[in-house]
Amino acid sequence: MKKSIGLALCLSATLGAQSASRRELVWGGDAEGGAPFVEADPADPSRVRGFDVEIAERIARALGRQAARFVQVQWSSIDQSVERGDFTLGLSGVEDTPVRRARHAVTIPYFEFREVLAVRPEDAGRIHGLADLRGRRVATLGATMAYDMLVAARDSTGLIPLSYDDDVHPYADLVAGRVDAVLLDHIIAQRALRRAGGSGRGFVILAQPVALGHYVGVLARADSVLRDSVDAVLREAMRDGTLEQIFRRWNVWDQSQGALFERVLRIGRAAKAAGAPTSFQIVAYLPSLARAAAVTLLVSILSMALAVIVGLALASARVYGPGWLRVATTLYVELIRGTPLLLQLFVIYYGLAGVVRLPAFLAAVLALGLNYAAYEAEIYRGALDAVPRSQLEAARTLGLSELQILRLVRGPQALRFALAPMTNDFVALLKDSSLVSVITVVELTKQTAIYATNIGSWVIPGALCAAVYLAMSLPLARLARRLERRWRPAA
Amino acid sequence: MSALLVIDRLSVRYDSRDVLRALSLEVARGEIVALMGPSGVGKSTALRAVAALQPFDDGRIVVDGFALAPGPVPPESRLVPLRRRVGLVFQAHALFAHLTALDNVTLALRHVLGQTRSLAETVATQLLASLEVGSRASAWPSQLSGGEAQRVAIARALAPNPPLLLMDEPTAALDPARRTALGTTLRHLSEQGRGLLIATHDTEFARGHADRVVQLTV
């Protein structure tokens, strides 16, 4: 009896939740993307506003839902989240791409954007398109159409694509001279220009667009019936002018939107974006994954070399130095070990930009190297202390100087104690090097994320990425174990 | 002839406890002196003081004209003459674990005396051969038996050719046959004109092989 009551309660709760979800439209977007798409309302930061917000509300009303509930999701994860069922409709400057169409239920396009180039004013006369950017560094958001275009252009024109996780720093780095151009949607470019205080100061936007693209809504593949309803709502909004009003309110209306509406209403079904590749095979990604793996390995090796050199200096200072130097090195070690590596990366790359503008790769090596130096220093200090006193005394009675003792006896013996933990640290460094993608270095993990976003699945890219990491770290772990066995201090 | 080593009223205190009180002894060239006494009586401390590995509180130590005074151990840069005069063989040998037997012996030849590698290796090979461990030159310390390790340690201490050799409990890890062999080796070294000061609690060895026995009491 009790059981059946419990079951009934459980059932009614489930049904209640279902009817609640019918009453509201749950939609997802990235408020970090900001205005005019979706942004936190300055008057009430618990609410969002923007043209995508108003479109979502319009769709919810037309579908007979009482409300549109917003779910925050990282922009590059919208596809995966909508398939997982985190929300019903993804709407946040989502681009119309063949892959997205193949993998999910995608609405008709509701906005046409232009991929535009931003350059420094002095370059505006020389640069007119991607073809003029041979050997130059061009920034954009990762996992976007623009990024795919830059990667394609890398092979054809030899430019250097740089991927960012947000759309503010590409323009900041353009002004700072770290990159030579930024390729992004015209809405984002114009917003950045307003933020920078108008044209001519810092950078200009080239009038000629590099490509055209469309914003769409994305639903789970199984939701194609609902998608058709959303399409009907969008068409109606195009016909009755509500969509135009929304865009005008957010100052993004132009003639090309009117032309888009006409085309969409005439054809009935959306035209496919042209020019993008239609088949995504694993093989096509292998070269870029291999390149990214090489970046990971190079960053790790250079960082470790720096960590060893600085770590040795720190350890020597802590073992041999005068009191004040020991205090200073202890402070360094504790400061570095006590704060996140991610923070240190940001400080070195962005924080120091006013003093010295380090290239991203150098900043990555510096941050990782200086971070790991603190850990290495502790290993070396422990190893130096572990060399038996009798060995040092024997060296003294032979007449070796302190420096000779360090170089010929203490150092080599300490190295034996240090090698195994150093190898372990290097394995950890290999994996920590994935953090440097936040300062635009595309390494293995970042490349995998881009790959996964492109094909809309993490299964194969994730397995491939794991295999590459393991191929690098397992031999090292084996080496560490062997070193440990072979050079275990004699009893 | 003046003594090679003069220890004059040597006193060492740890935490106001007397470890050595007014020890006096002399070692002449060509002489083997055994420093006898039960464990903890300060035999090793006396050797370590002579080798300037530890400070002493009172008295005086003179090695072939080089004097050590009470107080902290001077920096190595001021101990160069002493290092040329004194060799020390540790009780546990303390061979450098990362170097072969040969390299243990050549280390001081090359880096203190500045000999070339080939000259140092020739000298070291002869030295090892004279101590009957010539065949073990390429072995690592961990591969040597107790007796072999001791001979290599003696060779290492003798390499810079010091007139005075200190040995701490040399018979501790040796079987009776090896003890006799060691005694023969020491006699051979003294006949070359070296002075030897041997800290030991092995009465039989001291009586059998030393020219003189200095007894330390608690």
Tell me the count of A-B CB pairs closer than 8 A. Answer: 63
Q: Is B80 touching A (CB cutoff 8 A)?
A: yes
Q: Where are the beta strands (DSSP E) in B32-173?
A: 32-36, 58-63, 66-68, 86-89, 164-168
| Paired tokens of B138 | 């390429």
pTM of full prediction above 0.90: no
- B76: which chain A residues are within 8 Å (Cβ-Cβ)? 396, 401-402
Nearest-Cα distance to chain A for B176, in Å, is 25
Say whether residue A395 is in contact with chain B using an 8 A CB cutoff.
yes
ipTM over 0.95: no
Residues of A in contact with B159 (CB under 8 A): 398
State whether residue B114 sits within 8 Å of chain A by CB. no
Q: Distance (Å) from the C-alpha of residue B65 to the closest C-alpha of chain A? A: 18
Distance from CA of A402 to the nearest CA of B (A): 7
Q: Do B141 and A490 make contact, defined as CB atoms within 8 angstroms?
A: yes
- Going by C-alpha positions, the residue among A115, A110, A251 that lies closest to residue A186 is A115
CB contact under 8 A, B96 and A397: no
B139 at A interface, C-beta within 8 A: no
Shortest CA distance to A212 belongs to which of A100, A108, A127, A96?
A96
HSE at residue A340, side-chain half, CA atoms within 13 A, is: 5
Q: Which residues of A touch B157 (CB under 8 A)?
A: 397-398
Would an 8 Å CB–CB cutoff place A393 in contact with chain B?
Answer: yes
Do the Cβ atoms of A400 and B108 come within 8 Å? Answer: yes
Q: What stretch of H or E contains B123?
A: helix B117-130
Q: What is the pLDDT of residue B64?
A: 93
Set of chain B residues whose Cβ sits within 8 Å of the Cβ of A399: 80, 83-84, 108, 112, 160
| Confidence check: pLDDT of B68 > 50 | yes
Contact A440, A163 (CB under 8 A): yes
Reported as a single tens digit per residue, the pLDDT across B172-206 is: 878 888 888 889 999 999 999 999 999 998 899 99
Is B92 an 8 Å CB contact of chain A?
A: yes
Q: Each residue's pLDDT tens digit in chain A (491 positions)?
A: 444 555 454 444 444 444 455 689 999 998 877 778 988 887 877 788 999 999 999 999 999 898 899 988 888 888 888 888 889 999 999 999 988 998 899 999 999 999 999 999 999 889 998 989 999 999 998 888 999 899 888 888 889 999 888 888 899 889 988 899 999 999 999 988 888 776 557 899 998 999 999 999 999 999 988 999 999 999 999 999 999 999 999 999 999 999 999 988 887 544 444 333 434 566 777 888 888 999 999 999 999 999 999 999 999 999 888 999 999 999 999 999 999 999 999 899 888 877 887 888 999 999 999 999 999 999 999 999 999 999 999 999 999 998 999 999 999 999 888 988 999 999 999 999 999 888 778 789 888 887 777 676 788 889 999 999 999 999 988 888 887 777 654 43
Is the Cβ of A385 closer than 8 Å to some Cβ of chain B? no
Residue range B91-102: mean pLDDT, rounded: 93
For residues B84 and A372, give the distance between their C-alpha atoms in angstroms, rounded to a whole number.
43
First and final C-alpha spacing in chain A: 71
Q: In this structure, are residues B18 and B196 in contact, taking their beta carbons and an 8 Å threshold? A: no
